[in-house]
Each structure stands twice: as structure tokens, then as C-alpha cells.
A and B are shown apart, each in its own frame.
Chain A
Amino acid sequence: MNKKLKLATTSLAGCFGCHMSLLDLDERLLALVEHVEFDRSPLTDKKHLDHCDLGLIEGGVCNAENVEVLKDFRQHCDILIAMGACAINGGIPAMRNHFTLEECLKESYLDGIGITHPQIPNDAELPPLLNQVHPLQEVVKIDYFLPGCPLSADAIWHFFQALLQHKTADLSYTALHYD
């Protein structure tokens, strides 16, 4: 039996929708783990990243920690895949790029409707926000892109099937969508 591929996944400025699609593989997950072993991932709760064959990244880059994690993934993963709309073009979080960071923070924590104790969070453990949200490929080289919001479980499955046969995934018409 061939050695299993090591796979790491993470969610940066995303909503975990793409990871839900990963779980939507349902019973196909059992077939997948015959060929793939999960390293760092929200599914394993492993915090440290070892060398991996594959890195699947959900979400864009919105803060300093996202940059650090993304660079760590690039350093440790042979193939890095941008998974979903936010990773590819910033997605919904990038809609804040129309506003300054100050405007966003004021609206969220000071002036917004229903705020009872207005204050901008500044705990030292919180990673500093970037002025704008960026897609992954503006920070590191990305090897493959899987669009969708979220991408479908079928698209993920098709991607892995192609990969395990050493082919490039060619998404079917209904598996390729941006929404």
C-alpha cells in the first residue's frame, strides 16, 4: 500500500463553510482516509504543522495571524490549495475593503445598533487587523484554486480523486461555481 498523503487544513478569514463541505463528503470521508492522513486541521485540533503533501486553506487574509499561518502552510506544504471564494478573491469579508479599518471598528464596537458597552477590543492576544482583506495568492504562491461559496463536497471529492490519480482536477460544469 502506498504511503498516505499528509493533509493539513485551516480556516483564515472564512466562515468554516468550506470545512463543512469537507464534512459533507459524508461516507466518502472513510474512503478518503484510506489515502489521506490529516495533520494540522480544525478536525484534528493539532496546532503544530509538520511537513505535508497538501494544504487546503479556507478564507482570505485579514489579520497578522492569518499572514503567519498562511506563510507557515506555504513553508510546510508541497501543494497549497485555495479553497472557496474568500481564499480566492477575499469574498464577503473583503466587502469591508470599501471602508477604512477605523470606520469598520467604530461601526462594529462603538456606534452600531444595540451596543451597550462601547469599546474597541485591544487585548494583547488579539492579532492586529490588516487595513484590507486580501486573497491568499497576494501573500504566497497558490498552486490550485477550488472556487465556490462554499465549494461543494462533490468538487472536493473530484479534486481528491484526480489528485490521487496524479491528474489535474477538471471540475464539471455544475461543480464549478462562484457562489
Chain B
Amino acid sequence: MNNTLCIDSQDISFESGQSIMQAACAAGVFIPHLCFHPDISPHGSCRLCMVQVDGRLLPACTTPAMAGQKIENNTDSLNAQRRLVTQMLFVEGDHICPGCEKTGNCQLQAVAYFLGLLEPGLPQMYPTRNIDASHADVLLDFNRCILCELCVRASREMDGKNVFAIGGRGQHAHIVINATSGRLKDSALSIEDRAVDVCPVGALMKKHQAYQKPIGQRFYDQNPIDQKGDANSHQRGEKT
């Protein structure tokens, strides 16, 4: 019983201080997520990792693992809720996969495949947002941002730069850039920063590296995200 919890009838052990998500990842149990990254402090904002912990709905990435927890994860009911969350992420942004360089390597797309999402299910919002192409090496397309804050946290915690933050509220929430001009080229961002690598979607992307791998050889082309893991956690430079 000590330091053991149960996810979908599978007993897994954990170390003190781990979250349910960290324990699940270590045991090879996939809990869908977008805003979680193993090297960055959890945020609990994307709500895809919601699991039933002893009957209560809680985010796996911010809930500590505790001995004896009975956790439901891969159930029809939870996956139906996750499909709805994923549909909302798709319709509130501009996720036209055929026109996005991230396609095939995108975690939003991969989670949607895992959940068997066939259609948006909700009215498209088609927001009109800007693109910041001012930086020599990095492109920021606000239309594809899902506000996971991974770049905000990576810049703060790993790069020590604080280049990004979230400004605005509700559907007006958006990434803001730490520069007097508000533009990437005047910020401290460099192409080597982890903040550039961690974007799970096609919002923050390195320039001049699009479509390097043909269809069929991209990260999620052959196997789903529960087998492949996160594209943004794999060794740097290998994911595109």
C-alpha cells in the first residue's frame, strides 16, 4: 500500500512529492495533456489531464500522488470531456492543419487523434490575431496559441529571461512579449531558448525549418501520442 496508487485497475508506485501525472509518466501510463512538461513546474490550465481521484475530478498534473488513491483515467466519460475541451481549443483558435508547418508534429493534433476527434462540434470562431515575424529566427503566430503558458514558464524557469507573459482576460487573453515595442525582435529571446522548443502547437516556431520531414516520417505519423510521448519532450533537434 505504501507509495502505491491505482490508475484504471493498474497499481503503480510513486516517489514522495510526485504528482499523479509524474507518477503516471514514470510508469508509462498515458494521461492526455498539453500544458504539462516534465521539466517545467505544472500549471493545470489545459484541463485535458482531468482524472477521477476517489470520485473527485482533479487535474493529474497539479494533484499530489498519495498512497491508496483510486484513479480513473482512460474512461469513456473522461475521454468525452477531453474531446469537448480539445474541440474548444480547436474552434477558438485558427487551427487549419493543412496550412500549418507544425502538422504531424503537433501535440494538439496528436491528442485529438488519440481521442478520435472527427469534427469541431462547435461553431468556429475564426479569430483574427496577429503574427509576429519580426525576429530573425523565431516566428510567433498568435492564431495558433492555446495559452498553455509553457513558453512563459520555460522562459522564466529554464532560460531565466521572462520573455513571455499572458495579458488580457477571457477570449481576449493572449501572449505578451517583454519588450518596449512588444515585438519579438526587441526581446531577449534567442533561438537556443527552451521557450522556443516547448510550444506544443504551431504558435512559436523556429524559422527556416518547416516541412523538413516528408509525410509519413513526422513525429506522430505512424504511432499515436500515448506511444510516442510528447514531441516537445524529446531530444532537442530531433522532433521536426
- What is the interface of chain A, defined by CB distance below 8 A to chain B? 82, 85, 88-92, 94-95, 97-98, 132, 134-135, 137-138, 142, 144-147, 149, 171, 173-174, 176-179
A147 to B118 CA separation, bound complex (whole angstroms): 6
CB-based contact A176/B99 at 8 Å: no
Q: Which of B116, B124, B221 has the most CB of A within 10 A?
A: B124
CB-based contact A173/B113 at 8 Å: yes
**Chain B interface category by residue count:** 20 to 34
Report A-chain residues with C-beta under 8 Å of the C-beta of B222: 173-174
Interface check B128, CB cutoff 8 A: yes
Report B-chain residues with C-beta under 8 Å of the C-beta of A137: 119-120
Contact stretch, chosen from B35-43, B61-69, B90-98, B178-186 = B90-98
Report A-chain residues with C-beta under 8 Å of the C-beta of B215: 179
Known contacts A85-B98, A88-B120: A98-B103 contact under CB 8 Å: no
Report A-chain residues with C-beta under 8 Å of the C-beta of B90: 89
CB-based contact A92/B99 at 8 Å: yes
| B128 touches which of A98, A147, A149 (Cβ 8 Å) | A98
CB-based contact A173/B118 at 8 Å: no
Report A-chain residues with C-beta under 8 Å of the C-beta of B104: 179
The tally of CB-CB contacts under 8 A between chains A and B is 73
Q: Which of B90, B96, B100, B128 has the most CB of A within 10 A?
A: B96
Q: For residue B127, which residue of chain A has the nearest CB?
A: A98
A95 to B143 CA separation, bound complex (whole angstroms): 11
Least Cβ distance of B95 to chain A in Å? Answer: 8
| A179 touches which of B91, B97, B126, B224 (Cβ 8 Å) | B97
Q: For residue B128, which residue of chain A has the nearest CB?
A: A98
CB-based contact A135/B124 at 8 Å: yes
